[in-house]
Structure 1
Amino acid sequence: MKKTLDPKNRWRSKTVSFRMSPEEAEQLDSLAQLSGMTKQAYIINRVLKKDVVVNGNPRVYKALRNQFQVNYEELKRLEKISDDNTELLELILYSSTILKGLKEGVND
């Protein structure tokens, strides 16, 4: 089996695991998808306080489209926004930030 190396040519031989609620796991999946990174790369960058750089590609645009549709359906369902909706609000803000950054990148 071929070893998979990180960008600095190091072999990732350590396993790190932790528990999350289903809601937290769903939010993590969405954030990683929106970034266009693998979940592993996204978690490593966030934990080590490195920038998460989103490069526009068809997978990112599809994830953004799908996330905006989910957000829209959820907002239609809600009667009011409350503190219970922080995950939704964070996803909307994150998605909007990515879209704004991609738009600015096209105009450069």
Structure 2
Amino acid sequence: MSAKNCDTHNRFRDKTIAFRVSSEEDKQINTVVELSGMTKQDYITSKLLDRTIYVKGNCKVHRAVYDKLNEVLAELQRIENGGTVDDELMANVKLIAEIIDNLYIKSAI
């Protein structure tokens, strides 16, 4: 039997919710979770309950943003060589831009 798991408000989490997603959706979910710096459980719970996601800049988040930017750069170079632009790439670019913008604003304060 696994250990009891309480959240930050000392609530016991004893219910499981599961659902299926496509490979593309899984990849996109993992990307936003990684860039948020939150656990997947906390991120999905916050989104489902329509709570605001606050990205806290730390080494892990900065590294994830850096890695995703390198992936975007590789895709842009592929496009420059005659490839096509897909919707997933554009969604990732917009997400990364929002996160960088928010990290810059919060660190300037």
TM-score of the aligned structures, taking structure 2 as reference length: 0.89
Q: Distance in 2 between matches of 1:16 and 1:90?
A: 27
Specify which structure has the bigger relative contact order, considering alpha-carbon pairs within 8 angstroms and separated by 6 or more residues: 1
Cα offset, 1:80, TM superposition: 3.4
Q: Distance in 2 between matches of 1:42 and 1:99?
A: 18
* Residues 42-61 of structure 1 mapped to structure 2, 5 A cutoff: 42-61=43-62
- The answer to whether the aligner puts 1:74 opposite 2:75 as a matched pair is yes
Letter of the structure 1 residue corresponding to residue 60 of structure 2: R
* Residues 1-108 of structure 1 mapped to structure 2, 5 A cutoff: 2-78=3-79, 79-81=83-85, 85-108=86-109
Unaligned 5+ segments in structure 2 are: none
Unaligned 5+ segments in structure 1 are: none
Aligned structure 1 segments of 4 or more residues deviating by more than 6 angstroms:
none
Q: CA RMSD in A?
A: 1.2
TM-score of the aligned structures, taking structure 1 as reference length: 0.90
Q: Distance in 2 between matches of 1:101 and 1:107?
A: 10
What whole-Å deviation, never above 9, does each CA across 1:7-59 have from its counterpart, x for those lacking one? 22111111111111111101100100000001111111111110111000000
Look up the SS of the partner of 2:70 in the other structure. helix
Q: Distance in 2 between matches of 1:75 and 1:25?
A: 22
Of all paired residues, the percent bearing the same amino acid is: 33
Look up the SS of the partner of 1:70 in the other structure. helix
The number of equivalent residue pairs is 105
Letter of the structure 2 residue corresponding to residue 55 of structure 1: K
